[in-house]
A = this chain, B = another copy of it.
C-alpha cells in the first residue's frame, strides 16, 4: 500500500534527527532521501503534513522505547529519575529528545507553526515523564523541580556534550532529595516548618 510513504517517513525521521527542524527545506531533504520535492508533496500533501507525519511516527517510536524501559523497573535499584536520565542519554534516544527540546523552544516563539506538532503529543509525553518521576511529594512545586533539573541538565548536555559532569550533577540532586526525605520523614523536627 503506502509502504513507500512509510519508507520515506523513516528516512525523514533520520534526516530530522541530524538536521533539526528549524531549517528544514524540501529540496535538500529530497536530495538526501534520493527522491524529489515533488514526491514529498505528493505523499504528504504539504510540508506541514510531512512534519506532522514524521513527528507522529517519531513519537510513537519514542513512546514504545520509553514503555520498554518502564517495564524493566523491577531489576534496578536506581532512583526513577536517574533511570529516566539513563534512558534519555542513551545513544538511541538522545537525538529524539534533542529534537523535542528544539521543538519546545521553537514553539515558544512560533506556536502557530510548531504548536500543532507539540499538541499532538506533548500531553501524553508529559504524562509519561511525570509518571516516571518520583511522586511521593504531593506539592506541585516539588513535582516540577525534578523535571526542571532534568531539563536543565539535558540542556547543558546538549550544549557541552559533557555526559559525565551532567550525570554527576543529577546524582547530586538525587542525594539531596533523599537527604531531605530522611531528615523529614522519621523524625518531625519543629525547626523546619512548611505551610501552604
Give A residues with C-beta under 8 Å from B: 19-20, 22-23, 98, 101-102, 104-110, 139-142, 144-145, 147-153, 155-156, 158-159, 165-166, 168-169, 171-173, 175-177, 179-180, 183, 192
- Residues of B within 8 Å of A22, CB to CB, are 22, 106, 109-110
Q: Are the C-beta atoms of B166 and A156 separated by less than 8 Å? A: no
Residue from B141, B145, B166 within 8 A of A149 (CB atoms): B145
- Residues of B within 8 Å of A139, CB to CB, are 168, 172
Q: Are the C-beta atoms of A20 and B110 separated by less than 8 Å? A: yes
Most central of A144, A147, A166 by chain B CB within 10 Å: A144
Residue from B102, B108, B150 within 8 A of A108 (CB atoms): B102
Q: What is the CA–CA distance of A140 and B22 in the complex, to the nearest angstrom? A: 33
Tell me what chain A mostly uses at the interface: helix, strand, loop, or mixed: helix
Q: A110-B20, A159-B108, A180-B176 are known contacts. Are A152 and B147 too (CB-CB below 8 A)?
A: yes
Q: What is the CA–CA distance of A104 and B156 in the complex, to the nearest angstrom? A: 10
Q: Are the C-beta atoms of A155 and B152 separated by less than 8 Å? A: yes
Q: What is the CA–CA distance of A140 and B162 in the complex, to the nearest angstrom? A: 12
CB distance from A75 to the nearest CB of B (A): 25
Q: Are the C-beta atoms of A148 and B156 separated by less than 8 Å? A: yes
